Amino acid sequence: MNGVAVSTGGGAGAEPERTLVVIDSEFPNVAVEQEAAAQWGVTVERRTVTAPAEIAAAVGTASGLLVQYMHVDAATIEACPTLRVIGRYGVGVDNVDVDAAARRGIAVVNVPDYGVEEVATHALALLLSAWRRIASADRLVRNGQWGERESLGSIDALSESTLGLVGVGRIGGRLAEIAAPLFRRVLAHDPFARSMPHCVEAVALDTLLSSSHAVSLHVPLTSDTDQLINAERLGWMRPGSILVNVSRGALVDTDALVAALASDRPSFAALDVLPAEPPAVDDPLLREPRVLLSPHMAWYSTRSIVALRRLLAERAAAALMAPSGSAGHNV
């Protein structure tokens, strides 16, 4: 489980440059990546790209590509004959056509093991803020409505309530550990989990949604999880419940969510991720007072930024320098 998502061998054509090209990271330089890759004799360069059509020209004869948000599709991969590795800054690889890379024998590496504590604690912070109506209470104070706390609605005690976790991998499992002492009961649904944390009770998804006072999502975005929380499943949630998403925006049908909030199933949503980032200025979520938003920052800390950059460069360089066909683990 070292962050190599796909790898079946080397690319075709002439010997490529031992260079990793960074095309769209939000970091100010590539100094961390250069230091990490240097131990493998691999260089790192930043080449600015503003659209996917420019990726192939930026890669040139380099052997590696590091990408954060830009989509790397099959056509782009085919247009880069010297590529032997694609690295993605983050946990998921949903913006890389992994199947197309595999057909070319290109390794796809990511960093599934960074920022675990950060994302888990951010999920808990969003949950508690929504639970205690912190943002709404702040508005009361600022609007001169100090004594109108009853307008916030009923607030249950955590110790008498149930938390539901959809996905208990690294992050969901960590959240289970830190949140379990606060809740009466923690339910979990994860058909792919090799083991469950001792503090959770495994249940079916419909049972989890109908039984939990708060539901937190911790699954990757795949064809099976795209809009996992749709209109039907929102209807299974308890009246007055809270939905938290720190994973991928497309896990939730946000149009259905806005409609569901009007019927109190759930009553609040706390979202760090959205289907479109940043959201359009007319996105209904921005006008909904019962939605708490943060800008895809659950992973963010001084420590996690360095770990993300260092681990990705190390893994990409290692995959690049491995003998053809010798690297490869499924995350």
267 part of a folded domain? yes
185 part of a folded domain? yes
Q: With bands split at pLDDT 50, 70 and 90, how would you rate the model's confidence at 3? A: low
| Cβ-proximal residues to 122 (8 Å cutoff; 6+ apart), any chain | 246, 272, 294, 297, 298, 299
Domain identity same for 98 and 136:
no
Q: Quick check: 330 pLDDT over 80? A: no
56 part of a folded domain? yes
Kindly tell me the sign of the dihedral angle through the C-alpha atoms of 151, 120, 209, 273.
Answer: positive
Q: How far apart are CA 266 and CA 259, in angstroms?
A: 10
330 part of a folded domain? no
Domain identity same for 98 and 188:
no
pLDDT tens-digit map of 98-115: 999 999 999 999 999 999
Q: How many domains, in total, are found in the chain?
A: 2
Domain identity same for 69 and 158:
no
Q: How far apart are CA 218 and CA 227, in angstroms?
A: 13
pLDDT tens-digit map of 140-157: 999 999 999 999 999 999
The residues carrying an active-site annotation are 248, 277, 296
Domain identity same for 138 and 225:
yes
Domain identity same for 57 and 135:
no
Closest alpha carbon to 83 in 62, 103, 98, 102: 62
327 part of a folded domain? no
Helix axes 302-321, 31-38, angle to 10 degrees: 40
Domain identity same for 199 and 259:
yes
Stated as kind and residue range, the H or E segment containing 244 is strand 242-245
pLDDT tens-digit map of 199-236: 999 999 999 999 999 999 999 999 999 999 999 999 99
23 part of a folded domain? yes
Domain identity same for 160 and 286:
yes
| Cβ-proximal residues to 144 (8 Å cutoff; 6+ apart), any chain | none
Domain identity same for 76 and 90:
yes
Domain identity same for 108 and 153:
no
Domain of residue 244, residue span: 116-293
Q: Quick check: 13 pLDDT over 80? A: no
Domain identity same for 255 and 278:
yes
Q: For residue 181, give the CATH number of its domain.
A: 3.40.50.720
pLDDT tens-digit map of 56-91: 999 999 999 999 999 999 999 999 999 999 999 999
Domain identity same for 174 and 269:
yes
Q: What is the pTM of this model?
A: 0.86
